[in-house]
Structure 1
Amino acid sequence: MSQSHSLAQPLEWGHGPRTFEVFLEPTCPFSVRAFNKLNALLEQVGDDKITVKIRLQSQPWHLFSGVIVRCILAASTLPDGRNAARKVLQAVADHREEFEFTDHCSGPNMNATPQEIIARIEKYSGITLAEAFARPALQAEIKWHCKYARQNGIHVSPTFMVNGLVQADLGSGDDISVWAERLLA
């Protein structure tokens, strides 16, 4: 599926022929664990051998998921977009508890507003997002990520695809060498 309509820079790193797509929900602890391994994977395998693509998989039980996904995609529309988006992803990963609800339904974030969540992300990432977040055209990018996941039968995060095929037996707890072996097989 093409992203030719996009305002956003694709969340892709590396330029190799083998493709590793990772479907992540930014506040999911398992997605955070997977996200934190992607740089090491690129270094181990070589960015000339693989292309890593992050796909965002918003999930309703992570109650600020939609706001956070929109922030990441808003960042991707800024100058140096993919790296700005990566900084936002890393900021959320590094401070995950400040963006999540206790037991998915309670805790201090019950009193947080979407504006406060945006402000936290801006503070931790150093990226100004409010204006980009408010762009109505960003909705197309959000819908693209949702449709792409659904078309590939993906409903949870993290989910991994190698060269367009879902790898149900790969997980965030796997050692990077397991991912590398699958990619280079």
Structure 2
Amino acid sequence: MTLPPKFNASHAVPKFEELKTAPNVIDIYLDYTCPFSAKFFINWYENLYPKLKTDFDSKVQVVFHNYVQVWHPTSNLVHEAGLVVAQLDPESFLDVSYHLFKNIAQFYDTATADLTRNQIYEKIFDSVIAATKPKYTREQFLEKLTINTKVAEDSNSGNAASNDLKVFTRIGRQNGVHVTPTVFFNGFRDTSIESSTPISVIEEKIKALL
């Protein structure tokens, strides 16, 4: 199951229209509150992503998959926030993801245990997203996430990010993803890649695809 086209603008580098040939695809499954995912993505974002259009001539595409690890309770909320960013300003999604990973400890259990769900959404914007100078307002961001507790009847319908998160969860479960990070090259899982794998090793694997 491939990523729905609507996520191309936010989750894929290069985008479909920038590719020189039919893409070789690297799918990366990451959790915003997983320290190993943070180490992995920060390294890839800083040292591999800039080379995708230059050294590899837009012939390989890296696709980010939001994948919640359920033993990190706050993870679901941070991923909802990331997916709302993808809705409001797709071009900024990967940059915001980078900053979320750089500030990962702010969303650990000990930092959020006494906060409500809605307060955590506010914390995400105020402590991370605001510093990225978003094109949308705090109110627009929170409107898509905040759960209204003053409704006439009990509701369990989620928020504007729920359906998108379901899509990524289904893809990951279908592909048997458990741990994060998990990496697939053209649909085949590469179990040799870990958070500490040097970019030089990834580059050699990419060259073997081209």
Aligned length, in residue pairs: 178
Q: Counterpart in 1 of 2:189? A: 166
* TM-aligned CA deviation for residue 183 of structure 1: 2.0
1:86 CA displacement = 2.1
Matched, 1:22 2:45: no
Structure 2: give runs of 5+ residues left out of the alignment.
147-157
Q: Which segment is superposed worse, 90-99 or 170-179?
A: 90-99
Assess, with a 3 A threshold, how the Cα gap between structure 1 residues 136 and 114 changes in structure 2: closer, same or farther.
closer
Query: Percent identity of the aligned residues?
Result: 25
The correspondence for 1:100, drawn from 108, 113, 129, is: 108
**CA distance, structure 2, for counterparts of residue 20 and residue 146 of structure 1:** 17
- CA deviations 1:150-182 (Å, max 9, x no partner) are 111101100001111111111110000111111
- Residue of structure 2 in register with 1:104 after alignment: none
Give the greater-gyration-radius structure (CA).
2
Query: 1:35 Cα deviation (Å)?
Result: 0.9
Output aligned runs, 1:50-89, within 5 Å.
50-78=60-88, 80-81=89-90, 83-89=91-97
Q: How far 1:9 moved relative to its partner? A: 4.5
Secondary structure at 1:22's aligned position in 2?
Answer: strand
Deviates most, 35-44 or 69-78: 35-44
Instruction: Structure 1: give runs of 5+ residues left out of the alignment.
Output: 102-106
Query: How large is the Cα RMSD of the aligned pairs?
Result: 2.3
Alpha-carbon distance in structure 2 between the residues aligned to 1:184 and 1:33: 23
Q: Which moved more, 1:142-151 or 1:114-123?
A: 114-123
State the Cα distance separating 1:100 from its structure 2 match.
Answer: 0.6
CA distance in 2, matches of 1:33, 1:115: 27
Question: Contact 2:105 / 2:111 at 8 angstroms: preserved in 1?
Answer: no
1:141 aligns with 2:164: yes
Q: Distance in 2 between matches of 1:23 and 1:3?
A: 12
Compute the displacement of 1:92 (Å).
1.8
SS at match of 1:36: helix
* Deviation (angstroms), 1:8: 8.5
Aligned residue in 1 for 2:154: none
SS in 1 for 2:49: helix
* Amino acid corresponding to residue 13 of structure 1 in structure 2: V
Contact 2:10-2:92 within 8 A present in 1 as well: no
Query: 2:48 aligns to what?
Result: 41
